[in-house]
Amino acid sequence: MRTVRILTTAVLAGAGLLGLAGGAQADSATPSPSASGSAEAAGPTEAGTSFRTATAVKPDQPATADASTGDYLYWVLPVDVAQRATVNAKVTLPPAASRHGAATWRLDVYDGLRRHQACRYGAQSRTAAADAGAVELSCTLRTVRSWAEPWANDPLPGSYYVRLTVVDLPQEDLGQPVHAEVEASVADQGGAQAVDGALAAPLVPGAGSATAKADGAGSSPRPAAAAEPDGGWSSGRWNDRWLWTAAGGALAALAGIAGYRATRGSGRPARIPPGA
C-alpha cells in the first residue's frame, strides 16, 4: 500500500508540474489587452519605401497600403525567441483592361541585420495572369533561436522587415495603382526549440541594440524599429524547457524512492517455524 501511495504521489506531482508548464506557455501566448483601442487594431494604412522608413506593425495586426506598381513596400515587426513567424500578403491589381501582361510579385523577409531569411514553406513569389484580380503570397520563417554561431544565418530575436514588390511585368504597367494587404502572425514553438546561450540584446535598430552599437555614434538616421513583443523580449532567459526538465527530475527521484521501498523488504527477519 505504501508503494502504491508513493507512486500515486509521483504521478500527481508530475501532472502538477506539467500542468504548470502548459499554463505558463498558455499565459505567455495570451495577448494582453491593447491600450490604444480600435485605432491600433485597425493597423497602419501606409508602408515605408526602405528599411529606414519601414512601417511598424505588431503580430496579428493587419496593415494596408495604396501604392504604385513598381514601389518597394516595407513593414517591420518584432519576433522573439522560440517563435515562428508567418507573413501573408495580398495585392489587389489594377483592372485587367489597363494591364498589358502577367506580373510577378515577391515577398521577402529580412532580420535586424538585414540578412535575407529563407522561407520554410509558402508561396514567396507568384505570377498573376493578365486577367487576374489579385495575387496572394505567403512566407513561413524558421523558428527564431536565442543564439547562433557568428558564421550562421540562423534567425535571431529582434526586428524583422517585410518587403513586398513586383519583380517582373510589362514596362507599360509600371506606375499603375495597387492595394496591398499584409498580416504577420507568430506561433510559439515552446522550449523544445530552445538552445544554450543568448544574445546580449535583440537585433533591434536603436539605442542599446547590437545594430546600433555597430553603427557607432554617427548622426545618420537608423532604420525603423519594431515595437517590443507583449511582455518584452525574453532573450532566451526562460522557457518551458526548464519546467519540463524539473518535472522529469522530480518524477525520476520519486520513482527511485518508490523502487527502493518496494525492493528492500520489510526489514524484519523471517519467522522460523517451531521445531525447525
Where are the domains positioned within the chain? 44-236
Report the 3 state secondary structure along 62-84.
Answer: CEEEEEECCCCEEEEEEECCCEE
| pLDDT score at 200 | 61
Set of cell numbers at residue 155: 534567425
| pLDDT score at 131 | 94
Give per-residue pLDDT as tens, 48-61: 999 999 999 999 99
- Paired strand residues for 164: 73, 107
Set of cell numbers at residue 230: 507583449
Q: Which of 89, 109, 84, 77 is nearest to 29 (CA)?
A: 84
End-to-end alpha carbon distance in the chain: 32
The DSSP result for 43-55, as a single string, is --S--BSSSTTPE
Radius of gyration over every alpha carbon of the chain, rounded to an integer in angstroms: 27
Q: Along the 276 residues of the chain, how does pLDDT read in single tens digits? A: 454 454 455 445 554 544 444 444 444 444 444 444 555 567 899 999 999 999 999 999 999 999 999 999 999 999 998 899 999 999 999 999 999 999 999 999 999 989 999 999 999 999 999 999 999 999 999 999 888 777 788 888 999 999 999 999 999 999 999 999 999 999 987 655 555 556 667 788 763 334 444 444 444 455 666 677 777 777 545 555 556 566 677 788 888 887 777 777 655 555 666 665
Round to whole Å and give the CA distance between 9 and 254: 8
